[in-house]
Amino acid sequence: MRFATGCKLVSFATVAGMLLLPGCARHKTGTAAYAGESNAAAKVIAQRKLTPADVVGALKTFEPPGRRDKYLMFASGGQGGQVLVWGFPSMRLLQEIPVFTPDSMAGWGYGGVGDQVLREGYIPASKMGPRQRIRWGDAHHPALSETHGVYDGKWLFINDKADGRVAVVDLRDFACKQIVKNPIFYNDHGSTFITPNTRYVIETSQYSAPLGGAYAPLRGYKQDYRGEMTFWRFDRKTGRIDSKRSFAVEFPPYWQDLAVSGKLASRGWAFCNSFNVAMYHGNDMNGAPSFEAGATRRDTDYLHIIHLAQAIKVFKTGSFKRINGFPVIPLKTAIADHILFFTPETKSPHGCDVAPDGRYIIVNGKLDPHVSVYSFKNIQAAIAAGPTTWRHDAYGVPILPMRKTIKARIEVGLGPLHTQFDNKGFAYTTLFIDSAIAKWSLGGAYEKMHPDVKPWSLIQKLPVNYNPGHLAVIGGDTEHPTGQYLVALNKWSIDRFDCVGPLYPEDMQVIDISGPKMRLLSDTPLCVGETHYAQIIAYSKIHAWRVYPKVGWNPLTQSVDPNAPMPGNERIVRHGNKVEIFMTAVRSHYTPEIVKVNQGDQITWHVTNIERTPNATHGFAVSGYNINLTLNPGETETFHIHADHAGVFSFYCTKFCSALHLEMTGYLVVKPRATH
Ligand code: CUK
Ligand code: CUA
């Protein structure tokens, strides 16, 4: 039961009313007014049958009209293929950043800049087949860029699990700038995770397959199938991933899961879970067990320990092969050059998280009620102990003994998945099966932060609704977490909201972690995608543009476009059957408003929104040609139309921008061939 208070509502309401009445000296003048209000508040509390917990939840998360949130939460949109930006902790949805999936609200993927970015993410033509135009994504893990291990508010990265892609979002305009397709793998999952100065964006494959997208029969699984970890080099100057300076490390064909970069003590290293170390590859129609049985046969899987700094050295000496032109450090080299080590972990783990000081790697096995804490120092000692103390897997990868690498195991409950950290030496782990959050204490250097609490011990379990996947604490992935609140990203909502048909929303629950006990504050349904993961940053660290810096701004180059139409030079230029249109948009007209072309013409169409007023965004939609742009103040976009369909097509502004918005329209007249 959530509200087991059983209090008498009226008497509580009176108390709550008094609570609402500020008694401090600052407010003395307003006391009489507040007294009236507090009576009204007490009445509402009684009428709505609110409990003390409800009132605290409301008071902690509610932002009064006109007041803004102190934090922003960047959440993945799962199958929606986008990023959602929430005001936190009020949980007001502020922005949807389209990434892998076309989005008509944002005009993404209907002719303009979104098309260009989406095209980059297509699977290129190869000897295995034609180009695949991928028009959706399964966005899992957003990662804010960091400087010295702390979010710097400049970029956001996000992966697409379905097709092995990574995208870059620029936080000056909150828009996606780049999608890179992994050249050697079709899917991913341990992604995106970044190194503490955002030099590398980590992308790890999930379901083993032949590298490079080749064909190999399943019976050749052990020889021909592989996993891998890609290190995308991020260039802060260009704001782009630089494929030329990126590389991958080949892994055995285990199914790699969550990956994470080391921090502070473990900088220069990366870690990654795996499952199906059994290398089970099925055959259910011939009576073999399903994957869920076959892949979980062994008692242990392997935590992958990757010496990234060493891998970079090896990459720079040129000790790699190329697959589809992309540098890959072969498994043999990764073993010989001490890039890759394993240590056992209880079977079918999921979460892999590094404590803020970098000294502990937390691994949670879905089928084990414990969290396992690995010590980075112990891992180093086990590596230093040398080959005579190691075992090796079938491929020759050193296996460090678990009893040497592990530091603590804490029983927290059923189905532990993901862990986050606060600023007081505590960790929080989601319990998928228990439907709860476990709060537990870190040991080591963290002990002095909570001297009265036993280290490595369970402190509290708070029920959530229901089946939490990830969770996020403010700054929870950084070297210096903020704490204060966490949000549980619950997969099921069952009975929490009005029924709106058989497709249920997720439930995101905000929890207060500022006191000794966790406290549930609010529920927020989410129906536009499945948020797998989120990161929360102080709004003060974000420096977003209110309008584009100059008129004629190209959001891809983040500079003025030399082809941008400017006020006074609007025109229509024809060369044979090629027509180029230079158009401006301002409240409440386009110039030109009449565009006449001939059937079969190739049109290149530029539009600039010449507004300098914040919020004065215009749309631009052309009937019959699937064109839909969103033009923010200053922005220029370019699109192409092959005018193969004759007729009269209106174009118009899709944003209600002014009193004469309906007049913000024009005609595209396409004269049929016969009448030319
Ligand atoms: S995953 Cu979805 S709940 Cu992709 Cu990090 Cu665990
Ligand atoms: Cu511009 Cu409506």
How far does residue 103's CA lie from ligand 2's centre (Å)? 19
Query: From the CA of 351, which ligand is nearest?
Result: 1
Query: From the CA of 585, which ligand is nearest?
Result: 2
CA distance 645 to 371: 62
> Ligand 1: which residue has its CA nearest to atom 5?
532
Count of Cβ atoms closer than 10 Å to residue 179 Cβ: 23
Count of Cβ atoms closer than 10 Å to residue 62 Cβ: 12
Ligand 2 near 661 CB (within 6 A): yes
Which of the listed residues 470, 477, 491 should we mutate to test ligand 1's pocket, taking the one with most ligand atoms within 8 A of CB?
Answer: 470
How far does residue 85's CA lie from ligand 1's centre (Å)? 18
> Ligand 1: which residue has its CA nearest to atom 2?
532
How far does residue 654's CA lie from ligand 2's centre (Å)? 6
Same domain for 393 and 255? yes
How far does residue 177's CA lie from ligand 2's centre (Å)? 25
613, 586 Cβ separation under 8 angstroms: no
In the chain, how many domains are there?
Answer: 3
pLDDT per position as a tens digit, 467-491: 999 999 999 999 999 999 999 999 9
How many CA atoms lie within 13 Å of 647's alpha carbon, on the beta-carbon side? 9
Cβ burial 302-336 (10 Å sphere, 16+ → b, else e): bbbbbbbebbbebbeeeebeebeebbbbbbebbbe
- Among residues 541, 565, 594, the one where a domain terminates is 541
Same domain for 385 and 517? yes
653, 585 Cβ separation under 8 angstroms: yes
Ranges under pLDDT 70 in the chain: 1-33, 675-676
Q: Which residues contact 206 (CB under 8 A, 6 or more apart)?
A: 161, 187, 188, 189, 190, 227, 255, 256, 257
462, 435 Cβ separation under 8 angstroms: no
pLDDT per position as a tens digit, 90-127: 999 999 999 999 999 999 999 999 999 999 999 999 99
Cβ burial 213-247 (10 Å sphere, 16+ → b, else e): beeeeeeebeebbbbbbbbbbbeeeebbbebebbb
Give the C-alpha distances (Å, rounded to integers) separating 429 from 441, 473, 517: 11, 11, 15
Is there a domain that residue 89 lies in?
A: yes
Is there a domain that residue 507 lies in?
A: yes
Ligand 1 atom closest to the Cα of residue 432 is 3
Query: From the CA of 587, which ligand is nearest?
Result: 2
Ligand 1 atom closest to the Cα of residue 418 is 6
> Ligand 2: which residue has its CA nearest to atom 1?
618
Give the C-alpha distances (Å, rounded to integers) separating 395 from 222, 328, 387, 668: 10, 17, 15, 64
Q: What percentage of residues in the chain have a pLDDT greater than 90?
A: 93
Ligand 2 atom closest to the Cα of residue 616 is 1
Ligand 2 near 631 CB (within 6 A): no
How far does residue 117's CA lie from ligand 1's centre (Å)? 25
CA distance 357 to 421: 11
Same domain for 609 and 631? yes
489, 468 Cβ separation under 8 angstroms: yes
Q: What is the pLDDT of residue 193?
A: 96
Q: Which two three-digit tokens encode residue 597?
A: 């072309």
Place of tokens 């069952």: 494
Is there a domain that residue 201 lies in?
A: yes
Same domain for 184 and 318? yes
Which DSSP category does 313 fall into? H
How far does residue 648's CA lie from ligand 2's centre (Å)? 21
Q: How many helices (H) and strands (E) does the chain have?
A: 10, 44
Q: Which residues contact 466 (CB under 8 A, 6 or more apart)?
A: 435, 490, 491, 492, 493, 494, 507
Same domain for 298 and 201? yes
> Ligand 1: residues within 6 Å at CB?
140-141, 189, 258, 350, 417-418, 469-470, 532-533
Ligand 2 atom closest to the Cα of residue 654 is 2
Whether the upstream peptide bond of residue 280 has omega within 30° of 0, thus cis, is no
Is there a domain that residue 500 lies in?
A: yes
Ligand 1 atom closest to the Cα of residue 533 is 5
Q: Which two three-digit tokens encode residue 402?
A: 């678990």
Q: What is the pLDDT of residue 365?
A: 82
Ligand 2 near 653 CB (within 6 A): yes
Same domain for 462 and 314? yes
Same domain for 327 and 451? yes
Q: ∠ CA 628-634-638 to the nearest 5 degrees?
A: 40
Same domain for 44 and 144? no
Q: What is the pLDDT of residue 32?
A: 66
Is there a domain that residue 131 lies in?
A: no
Ligand 1 atom closest to the Cα of residue 161 is 4
Which of the listed residues 193, 417, 437 should we mutate to test ligand 1's pocket, taking the one with most ligand atoms within 8 A of CB?
Answer: 417
Which DSSP category does 266 fall into? G
Report if pTM > 0.85: yes
Same domain for 386 and 522? yes
How far does residue 301's CA lie from ligand 1's centre (Å)? 18
Query: From the CA of 189, which ligand is nearest?
Result: 1
- DSSP string for 71-127: EEEEEE-BTT-EEEEEEETTTEEEEEEE-SS-BTTTTBSSSSHHHHHHHHTSBPPBT
Ligand 2 atom closest to the Cα of residue 657 is 2
Is there a domain that residue 20 lies in?
A: yes
Same domain for 239 and 298? yes
Question: Residue 676: exposed, middle, or buried by beta-carbon count in 10 A (0-12, 13-18, 19+)?
Answer: exposed
Residue 248 is part of a domain; what is its CATH number?
Answer: 2.130.10.10
Same domain for 480 and 334? yes
Q: Which residues contact 276 (CB under 8 A, 6 or more apart)?
A: 254, 255, 291, 294, 295, 296, 301
Is there a domain that residue 127 lies in?
A: no
83, 139 Cβ separation under 8 angstroms: yes
136, 79 Cβ separation under 8 angstroms: yes
Is there a domain that residue 590 lies in?
A: yes
Same domain for 148 and 295? yes
CA distance 175 to 98: 8
Residue-number span of the structural domain to which 355 is assigned: 71-101+136-541
Residue 614 is part of a domain; what is its CATH number?
Answer: 2.60.40.420
> Ligand 1: which residue has its CA nearest to atom 1?
532
Ligand 2 near 621 CB (within 6 A): no
